[in-house]
Amino acid sequence: MANAALLACDWGTTNLRAWTLDAHGRVVDHKEFDLGVSKLKPGEAARRFEAEVQPAFAAQGLPAILCGMVGSNLGWTVAPYADCPAGLDELARALVAVEAHGTWARIVPGMRSEGLSGNPDVMRGEETQLMGWLAQNPDRCRGRHVVCHPGTHAKWMLVEDGRLARFVTAMTGELFAVLGNHSVLKSDAPADDQEAFAEGLAAAGDGDALAARLFTARARVVGGGKRAESTPSYLSGLLIGSETASVPRLLGLSGEEPVALLGDARLCALYAQALARGGVAHETFDGEAAAVAGLFALYQLGQAA
């Protein structure tokens, strides 16, 4: 612990992941806290941070940097969205200072993009992973790149010359959860049936008419004799296949551009299968490592500012 130089936090809706980093950005220690901002009362974030997070690392004296929903009105303080296009420099200039036992502490703003139908799209947390990914892969700071961050609210991000130019959110993970828990497609079975997943990918078509394609998850059991236990895997394939086939076009892309998958390894592997089926080149990057790299890079730039 002696060489910890920074307390870095990805503080989201459902939990808080924190790391101490040394002066070179290497992880010294890591802990998770059941402190998602959705579980906090108004004004509670600062107090819980000082009372639980800093002491857990004996990190009261360390500078701290935090990203995610902690910068929303549910969190510590509102860090106003930075507008696309923006890169590491713009985000670093937009860090919001908070008080934490009197030490340097900053909250990373979320980002806002021109969205579909005239309403802005927003993110909080994924921008930090993206900036970390760019810091880890300087070759991606030139030209145009497509990055997908799978999740409850998946983000498809268009990067141009090292800055996030535009993004769109797809609530694929949430659709999977609500349909699997509350609809006629409800099931307690695990989504671990490879064959049914591939069948779902094939049933996604080009990502149109989802409400009708979803009913095939029912019809294949009721009318086609497939096992009801395979429904979650089929549903997962259908939803992810629909997303990968259609969402890139909303960013003005052809859908054939290579995709960098950035996030949870298990989810990225499912998206990789969907992209492979569509003949789309892809590469997978670890989201947690990118978050750490992004927080460290923002800290360095923010301190210099």
CB of 305 to a second copy, least distance (A): 27
Decide: is 203 part of the binding site for a second copy (CB under 8 A): yes
> How far apart, in whole angstroms, are the C-alpha atoms of residue 269 and residue 272?
5
Contact range with a second copy by CB under 8 A, out of 165-173, 187-195, 257-265, 291-299:
165-173
Binding test (CB under 8 A) with a second copy, winner from 179, 191, 268, 275? 179
A 10 A CB-CB count for 132 gives 28
CB of 220 to a second copy, least distance (A): 4
Strand segments, DSSP code E, in 45-120 are: 64-67, 82-83, 96-97, 105-107, 111-113
> How far apart, in whole angstroms, are the C-alpha atoms of residue 169 and residue 120?
11
**Phi-psi domain of 19 (left: phi exceeds 0; alpha: psi -120 through 50; beta: other):** beta
> How far apart, in whole angstroms, are the C-alpha atoms of residue 222 and residue 19?
49
Contact range with a second copy by CB under 8 A, out of 139-147, 187-195, 214-222, 258-266:
214-222
List the interface residues with a second copy, window 230-259 (CB under 8 A). 239, 242-243, 246-247, 249-250
> How far apart, in whole angstroms, are the C-alpha atoms of residue 57 and residue 184?
46
Decide: is 195 part of the binding site for a second copy (CB under 8 A): no
Binding test (CB under 8 A) with a second copy, winner from 51, 97, 178, 265? 178
Laid out side by side, the sheet with 144-149 consists of: 163-170, 154-160, 144-149, 259-263, 282-286
Of 54 and 244, nearer to a second copy (C-beta) is: 244
Query: Please, which residues have CB within 8 angstroms of residue 182's CB and are 6 or more apart in sequence?
Result: none
Q: What mask of x and - would describe binding to a second copy in positions 77 to 96, judged by CB under 8 A? A: ----x---------------
Interface with a second copy (CB under 8 A), residue total 55
Residues β-bridged to residue 97: 106
Binding test (CB under 8 A) with a second copy, winner from 63, 153, 228, 253? 153
Footprint of a second copy on this chain (CB under 8 A)? 81, 112, 115-122, 153-154, 156, 168-172, 174-175, 178-179, 181-184, 199, 202-203, 205-216, 218-220, 222-224, 226, 239, 242-243, 246-247, 249-250
